[in-house]
Amino acid sequence: MRRMPGLVGSRRCTGCGVFAKEEDSMPHRHKPLLPIPHQRDAENMREYQRLLRPYKVEAKLLQFPMPAQPVISAACYDIGAGGLCVEAPRALEIGALLQIRVHVPKLNKFSPSFFKAHENDAEQYVRCIGKVAWVRPSGGKYLVGVSFTDIDPDQRKALKGLVQKATRLHS
């Protein structure tokens, strides 16, 4: 199995060419996997690496009236300091602004914040504003790429540290 450049935790099966998460054992049964919608190449260079993790994501469209906007529950596909990809139950409009909350256990271990020692896993959320960059259908749901447009600098540093540690562990 060969690593996929730019994504931590994924590899390509040398037998069939399918991308799979590293924890999937090889040889693997050829079951349908989510396609990885973005590869690191000359056309799509990322500033930050991504980590494949199924974190719980809640989002709301950032438009008035805010209380009337329904919460969109989604599963995180991958996340990095610059954005994330989620598997959402419905398509979102490209360019739409979202208020995002992602539960990331152990995130505070990587935070430069003074109070990180007094926080627990249950309350570790990334809260930010994001912009929908792309949308692709995927097995009755939608893969939605979101770029963080407004995120606390400490949370960005913590996400970057989390991904870097995972990168070192998988290298």
Q: 51-170: which CATH number, 2.40.10.220, 3.20.20.70, 3.30.1360.200, 1.10.10.10?
A: 2.40.10.220
Half-sphere exposure of 81 (CA within 13 A, CB side): 19
What is the model's pLDDT at position 31? 35
Contacts for 137 with CB less than 8 Å, ≥ 6 apart: 91, 143
Taking the mean position of all CA atoms in its chain, how far away is CA 114? 26
Tell me what the pLDDT averaged over the chain comes to: 77
Report residues of the chain scoring pLDDT below 70: 1-46, 113-122, 170-171
Global pTM value: 0.70
Domain boundaries, the chain: 51-170
Q: Do 68 and 60 contact (CB within 8 A), yes or no?
A: no
Hey, CA dihedral for 154, 62, 55, 169, is it positive or negative? negative
- pLDDT for the residue numbered 40: 45
Cα→Cα distances 11→20, 32, 36, 98, Å: 5, 15, 11, 31
Angle at 136 between CA 140 and CA 42, to 5 degrees: 150
